C-alpha cells in the first residue's frame, strides 16, 4: 500500500490535536506518530512545517528559522514555543490604560530572541489627541512604529504594506490591546466576535485562547496569539542587548569594561539614558542571567541523571552475569 508523505504547516496546536494545512488540500487534523511522541524534545507549534503521512500522522518537525519562545508559565522549568517560522512580530499596544513602555521592552526582548523583526503597532489612535508624543517615545524603544486605529481603519494601510505575501507575522500583545479587532480588519471579515472593551478594566470581552495561523487576502500569513498574562522570558543576554541597543553602544565608551552603570567613574551610560529605561535594562539583564544559571544547573542535573541511569543499568547487567 502506498503511503503519501507530504509537507504541511501547523495552523493550530491544542494538546495532541494538530490542525494542518496544505495549499492544494486545505486543512485537516493529524496526530503525532508514536515515535515522535516519545522522542521529540519539542512538539509541533503553530507555524511549524511538518512531514505528514497519509494526511493523518505527523512524522517529523522541520528545523525552525525563527521561534517565539517564553519560559513556561507557572513553576515548571522549561521553554514553551508560542509560534514558529515568524518573519515579523507585531507588538500591539493600545493608547489607553494598556500603554506601558516597560512591558514593550519585555516584548522587544522576546522578539530579539526569536530572530524575527519587531514592529510596534500603536492602536486606538482615535482615543488620543497627542499621538505624536506616543510615537516619539515608542520610537526610542523600537525604530519601526505604526500608529493605527483598528476600529476606524486609520493607518491600517501602512501596516498592511508591511505584510508581504508568503511572509508570516505574529500578532502579540496584552488582552484588550485590540488584536482581534485589527485581525478582523486585516482579514476583511469577522473571524471572531469581538466586544467593546469593558470600562472597568479596559479588557475586551473576546479573548483569543489559542494560537492560530490565518491567511490574509493578499497571501500573507498572520498568527493570532492570545494575550499573555505572564511573559517570563526565555532569552540570553545578547537579546536584551539587542532590545537596548543604544545602552550597549554607550557602554562601549565606559572607562571600565565591567562597568555596572551605577556611579562608577568614567561611566558613559548613567546620566545619558532615561533612568527608568536603564533600570528596566538592569532588571531584564538580571532575569536572563538568573535563567542562564538555572539552565546550566538544569543541564548538569539532566546529565547527572543520565549517567546515573547508565551506571544503574551496568550494575544490573553485572549482577545478572
In the chain, how many domains are there?
3
Q: What CATH number should be reported for the domain holding residue 27?
A: 2.40.50.140
pLDDT at residue 314, as a whole number: 63
Residue 270 in domain:
yes
pLDDT at residue 199, as a whole number: 41
pLDDT at residue 231, as a whole number: 74
For residues 148 and 176, state if they share a domain: yes
Q: What CATH number should be reported for the domain holding residue 162?
A: 3.40.50.300
Residue 177 in domain:
yes
Residue 315 in domain:
no
> What is the DSSP code (8-state) at residue 127?
G
Helix, strand, coil percentages for the chain (3-state, nearest 5): 35, 25, 40
* Domain final residue, candidates 199, 224, 249: 224
For residues 291 and 142, state if they share a domain: no
For residues 255 and 209, state if they share a domain: no
* Domain final residue, candidates 169, 200, 224: 224
Q: What CATH number should be reported for the domain holding residue 255?
A: 1.10.40.50
Contact assessment for residue 221 and residue 167, using Cβ atoms and an 8 Å cutoff: yes
- Name which of 159, 160, 224, 181 is nearest 94 in CA terms: 181
Contact assessment for residue 284 and residue 106, using Cβ atoms and an 8 Å cutoff: yes
* Domain final residue, candidates 174, 200, 224: 224
For residues 79 and 218, state if they share a domain: yes
CA 91, CA 98: separation in Å to the nearest integer? 12
Residue 211 in domain:
yes
For residues 49 and 144, state if they share a domain: no
Say how many C-beta atoms besides its own lie within 10 A of residue 197's C-beta: 21
CA 315, CA 313: separation in Å to the nearest integer? 5
- What are 230's three cell numbers? 505572564
For residues 149 and 126, state if they share a domain: yes
CA 225 vs CA 11, 65, 198: distances in Å = 12, 19, 21
CA 309, CA 303: separation in Å to the nearest integer? 10
For residues 206 and 248, state if they share a domain: no
Say how many C-beta atoms besides its own lie within 10 A of residue 219's C-beta: 11
Residue 230 in domain:
no
Query: How many CA within 13 A on the CB side of residue 54?
Result: 8
**Residues across the chain:** 321
Residue 243 in domain:
yes
CA angle 103, 109, 111 (to 5 degrees): 105
- What are 34's three cell numbers? 508514536
pTM of the model: 0.80
Residue 189 in domain:
yes
**Helices marked H in the chain:** 34-39, 101-114, 131-139, 156-160, 179-187, 237-243, 245-251, 275-320
CA 287 vs CA 163, 186, 252, 253: distances in Å = 33, 36, 22, 25
99 contacts: CB under 8 Å, gap ≥ 6: 93, 122, 134
Say how many C-beta atoms besides its own lie within 10 A of residue 288's C-beta: 20
Residue 316 in domain:
no
Contact assessment for residue 5 and residue 44, using Cβ atoms and an 8 Å cutoff: no
For residues 20 and 100, state if they share a domain: no
pLDDT in tens, the chain (321 residues): 446 899 999 999 887 889 999 988 889 999 999 888 888 777 899 999 999 999 999 999 999 999 998 887 666 667 888 999 999 999 999 888 778 898 999 999 999 989 899 999 999 988 877 888 889 999 999 999 999 998 998 999 999 989 999 999 999 988 778 888 899 999 986 554 333 443 444 444 344 446 889 999 999 999 988 766 667 787 888 888 889 988 988 888 888 888 888 878 888 888 888 889 999 999 998 888 888 887 776 666 666 666 766 765 665 665 565
> What is the DSSP code (8-state) at residue 98?
T
For residues 79 and 177, state if they share a domain: yes
Say how many C-beta atoms besides its own lie within 10 A of residue 258's C-beta: 6
**C-alpha dihedral, 125 to 127 to 131 to 134, nearest 10°:** -90
For residues 99 and 193, state if they share a domain: yes
For residues 98 and 212, state if they share a domain: yes
Q: What is the DSSP string of 242-268?
A: HHTHHHHHHHTTSSSTT--SSS-TT-S
Domain span at residue 94 reads 67-224
CA 150, CA 146: separation in Å to the nearest integer? 12
For residues 152 and 25, state if they share a domain: no
Amino acid at each position: 500500500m502506498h503511503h503519501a508523505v507530504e509537507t504541511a504547516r501547523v495552523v493550530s496546536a491544542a494538546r495532541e490535536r494538530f490542525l494542518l494545512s496544505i495549499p492544494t488540500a486545505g486543512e485537516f487534523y493529524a496526530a503525532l506518530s508514536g515515535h515522535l511522541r516519545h522522542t521529540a524534545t519539542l512538539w509541533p507549534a503553530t507555524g511549524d512545517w511538518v512531514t505528514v503521512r497519509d494526511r493523518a500522522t505527523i512524522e517529523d518537525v522541520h528545523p525552525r528559522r525563527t521561534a517565539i519562545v517564553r519560559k513556561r508559565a507557572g513553576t515548571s522549568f522549561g521553554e514553551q514555543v508560542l509560534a514558529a517560522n515568524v518573519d515579523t512580530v507585531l507588538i500591539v499596544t493600545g493608547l489607553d490604560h494598556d500603554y506601558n513602555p516597560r512591558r514593550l521592552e519585555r516584548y522587544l526582548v522576546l522578539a530579539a530572541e526569536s530572530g524575527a523583526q519587531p514592529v510596534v503597532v500603536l492602536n486606538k489612535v482615535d482615543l488620543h489627541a497627542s499621538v505624536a508624543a506616543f510615537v516619539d517615545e515608542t520610537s526610542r524603544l523600537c525604530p519601526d512604529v505604526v500608529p493605527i486605529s483598528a476600529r476606524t481603519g486609520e493607518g491600517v494601510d501602512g501596516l498592511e504594506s508591511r505584510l508581504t505575501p508568503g511572509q508570516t507575522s505574529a500578532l502579540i500583545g496584552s488582552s484588550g490591546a485590540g488584536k482581534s479587532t485589527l485581525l478582523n480588519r486585516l482579514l476583511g471579515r469577522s473571524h471572531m466576535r469581538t466586544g467593546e472593551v469593558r470600562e472597568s478594566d479596559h479588557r475586551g470581552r473576546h479573548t483569543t485562547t489559542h494560537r492560530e495561523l490565518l491567511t490574509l487576502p493578499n497571501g500573507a500569513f498572520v498568527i493570532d496569539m492570545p494575550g499573555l498574562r505572564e511573559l517570563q522570558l526565555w532569552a540570553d543576554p545578547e537579546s536584551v542587548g539587542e532590545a537596548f541597543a543604544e545602552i550597549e553602544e554607550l557602554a562601549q565608551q565606559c572607562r571600565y569594561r565591567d562597568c555596572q552603570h551605577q556611579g562608577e567613574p568614567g561611566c558613559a551610560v548613567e546620566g545619558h539614558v532615561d533612568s527608568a529605561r536603564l533600570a528596566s535594562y538592569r532588571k531584564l539583564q538580571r532575569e536572563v542571567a538568573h535563567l542562564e544559571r538555572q539552565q546550566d544547573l538544569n543541564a548538569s542535573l539532566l546529565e547527572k541523571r543520565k549517567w546515573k541511569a547508565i551506571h544503574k543499568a551496568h550494575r544490573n547487567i553485572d549482577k545478572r552475569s
